Amino acid sequence: MSVAQRLRVLLAGDRQADRVVPPTGFTVWLTVFTAGAMAFLAVFALALSLATGRLADRWADALARTATVRISAPEGQMQAQVDAVMEILRTTPGIASARVLPEAEQRALLEPWLGPDLPVADLPVPQLIEVTESGGGYDATGLRLRLAGEAPGAVFDDHTRWRRPLVRAAARLRALGMVSLGLIALATAAMITLSANAALAANARVIAVLRLVGARDVYIARAFMRRFTGRALEGAGAGTVLGMLAIAFLPEADAAGGFLTGLGFRGLDWALPLLIPPAAGFVAFWATRAAALRVLRRIT
């Protein structure tokens, strides 16, 4: 019998064989609840993985396109240093624009750490210049050498030391989300296996009678596979819907909320959770099949 024929037989059902599997009882609720709870958690694990992927891309793009020149010089030499740096930046290929940050903007950058009443004008705060690169990029090493020779008080920072740890952390969070999905699948398989074992043990006498009248183990196992796969699909479908609703009602992403309010799905990503119920059914199918054939070999 081909795989397609076996699938048709499994989906078509067999009332006689289905009587072997109890329609009610704790195994039913255990299977449905487990599949629903795990699907609900899988939705959030998937949302976490996608959100961290977007976060890593956003951080990488934002920090890769900008750089900063920090100028430290005595008060009488600051303007001359700024003018020299701006001239260097203006004549450097690959730099699209350079902008001297005003005092108010520098105060806003320092405010989260030093408070709103910081007297920037009275402190030796370095002057910052924001640099934006063009599509072709620039020679960072050559630019540093020019700054060291013509503006000794200037330090060029291309954000590499900040960008790499942030992107690495986001990538690890994304991997953690995928690992969580794998653990959820394993936990689902384990719980469904326990439920199938309990149902098989409870129906040992019925199974013995079926064997006496000529029923093969594959025929009996197929009844359990069909019933438990259906229960897993029902539970996972309900859990997925609840998870998607919970994600939909999360706050929208904004500058204040950052990552936590950006946890969710965007555009076509909303179709990905719909794969969870079929995946749960697939896990239930093979977990029940393995459990049923193993237990049937032990039942005499």
Report the range of poorest mean pLDDT among 61-75, 87-101, 109-123, 163-177.
Answer: 109-123
The stretch 109-116 carries a mean pLDDT of: 68
DSSP 159: S
Q: How far apart (Å, rounded) are the C-alpha atoms in residues 275 and 264?
A: 16
Phi, psi at 66, each rounded to 5°: -125, 160
Strand order in the sheet with 95-100: 95-100, 127-133, 66-71, 154-157
pLDDT of residue 237: 94
Q: Are 268 and 204 in contact (CB under 8 A)?
A: no
State yes or no: pLDDT of 177 exceeds 50.
yes
Q: Are 58 and 260 in contact (CB under 8 A)?
A: no
pLDDT of residue 14: 54
State yes or no: pLDDT of 271 exceeds 50.
yes
Q: What tens digit of pLDDT does each residue of 129-159 get? A: 888 887 677 788 888 888 888 888 888 887 7
Total residue length of the chain: 300
Q: How far apart (Å, rounded) are the C-alpha atoms in residues 200 and 289?
A: 12
State yes or no: pLDDT of 208 exceeds 70.
yes
Task: Name the helix (H) or strand (E) containing 156.
Answer: strand 154-157
State yes or no: pLDDT of 255 exceeds 80.
no
Residue identified by tokens 């793009």 is 61
Q: What tens digit of pLDDT does each residue of 222-235 get? A: 878 888 888 899 99
Q: What tens digit of pLDDT does each residue of 36-72 get? A: 999 999 998 898 888 877 777 776 666 667 788 888 8
Query: CA separation (Å) from 297 to 56, 123, 204, 290?
Result: 51, 82, 12, 11
pLDDT band with cut points at 50, 70 and 90 for residue 297: confident
Q: How far apart (Å, rounded) are the C-alpha atoms in residues 145 and 149?
A: 6
Number of helices (H) and strands (E) in the chain: give both, helices first: 10, 4
Residue 289: CB partners within 8 Å, gap ≥ 6? 221, 225
- Crossing angle of the two packed helices 217-248 and 204-212, in degrees rounded to 10: 140
pLDDT of residue 2: 52
Task: Name the helix (H) or strand (E) containing 113.
Answer: helix 103-114
For the record, the structure tokens of 214 come out as 């000529």
State yes or no: pLDDT of 252 exceeds 70.
no
pLDDT of residue 7: 46
- Residue 104's SS3 state is helix
State yes or no: pLDDT of 218 exceeds 50.
yes
Mean pLDDT for all residues in the chain: 79
pTM over the 0.75 mark: no
For the record, the structure tokens of 25 come out as 């009882």
Report the half-sphere exposure of 128 (CA within 13 A, side-chain side). 18
State yes or no: pLDDT of 261 exceeds 80.
no
Name the region of 72 (left: φ>0; alpha: ψ -120 to 50; beta: rest).
beta
pLDDT band with cut points at 50, 70 and 90 for residue 265: confident
**What would the 3-class secondary structure string for 237-294 be?**
HHHHHHHHHHHHCCCCCCCCCCCHHHCCCCHHHHHHHHHHHHHHHHHHHHHHHHHHHH
Q: Are 48 and 184 in contact (CB under 8 A)?
A: no
